[in-house]
Structure 1
Amino acid sequence: MMEKLALAEAEKAEAAARKQAEAEAEKKLLLDKITKPSGVSDEEAMKRVAAIVQRAVSNGLTEVQVYRFPNDLCTDHGRAINQMEAGWEKTLTGLPKEMYEFWDRRLKPLGYKIKFQIIDWPGGMPGDIGITLKWA
């Protein structure tokens, strides 16, 4: 009986380890994808922004979270963003950096504002970062 119990526990542990490995591989694949340039043109990005804003406005909103990313994509894991330090945008890499640069280049002159902030705190530590676009 004890042997069967030990085997069952070992199978549970193996399944959990397998699931954890799959999650880690998925996260690595996502990070690999979002650290590379998106290949989206400014014109296509403007179309996407217009659609997002239109949908938000029709729902009575004046801001919308447009993206969420792991703090690993900041050179300091989001510390400067959390502290609201001047120059925090220099810590961005990958797709978040591309999005910030697009906002600075195309949306800021139109009056849009952008906010980067830590949006979850797993285990009390900074987690994912959200990008919010505001227009009012």
Structure 2
Amino acid sequence: MTETPTQASGHENLADESFISAEDLRNYMHQQEAARLNKELSAMDLAERTRAELIKKLSEPLELTPERLHEIQQNLIHKIRLAAERGETEIMIMRFPNALCTDKGRALNNGDENWPDSLTGRPRQAYELWRDHLRQAHYKFKAQIVDWPNGLPGDVGLFISWA
């Protein structure tokens, strides 16, 4: 029997089954990248669906019965007391997508004094709760853009302060 030069030298053929070919490795890498991208797209789809559900929920005002209004006020007072005990002078009472502003937060971001007119749904109710019940107790109300995805205004935060 005749030996090949690689067998005669004691070296095994490097292309045998114990090694993955370069083409197979590239295919594997492409499959991994595709799986990662699919996972990212699925996460983005889930995030977008969740955001859309939140917008829908927050765009529908709550029915504010006297009992519900009392419950909201008690919850808010509790949160204010806890924050004050920690030495804080403001709390964020709500965070919501800028889609709940009729102008996507432009008036707010530009410091327009009429920015509350752009609020809709439950964010509008939160503002009205402050205006009708907390302003006379000298609580302050402010809103600001709290994140900037891709450099554009994102979520809005509503804050109550007592400083």
**TM, length-normalised to structure 1:** 0.90
Distance verdict in 2 for CA 1:5–1:94, change over 3 Å: same
Structure 2: unaligned runs, 5 residues or longer:
1-23
Matched, 1:105 2:129: no
Aligned twin of 1:19: 43
Matched, 1:81 2:99: no
Larger Rg: 2
Runs of 4+ in 1 over 6 A off after TM superposition: none
What is the aligned counterpart of 1:45 among 72, 80, 89? 72
Distance verdict in 2 for CA 1:6–1:132, change over 3 Å: same
Distance verdict in 2 for CA 1:13–1:88, change over 3 Å: same
RMSD after superposition: 1.6
Deviation track 1:97-133 (CA, whole Å, cap 9, x = no partner) reads: 0100111111111111100111222222111111110
The alpha-carbon deviation at position 6 of structure 1 amounts to 3.2
Aligned twin of 1:32: 56
Paired residue type of 1:124: G
Task: State, as a whole percentage, how many aligned pairs show the same letter.
Answer: 35
**TM, length-normalised to structure 2:** 0.76
Moved more, 109-118 or 60-69: 60-69
Aligned twin of 1:135: 162
Aligned twin of 1:122: 149
Aligned twin of 2:89: 62
Distance 2:142 2:96 in 1: 13
Distance 1:25 1:121 in 2: 20
Distance 2:89 2:34 in 1: 52
Structure 1: unaligned runs, 5 residues or longer:
none
Larger RCO, structure (CA 8 Å, separation 6 or more): 1
Distance verdict in 2 for CA 1:108–1:13, change over 3 Å: same
Paired residue type of 2:159: T
The alpha-carbon deviation at position 69 of structure 1 amounts to 1.2
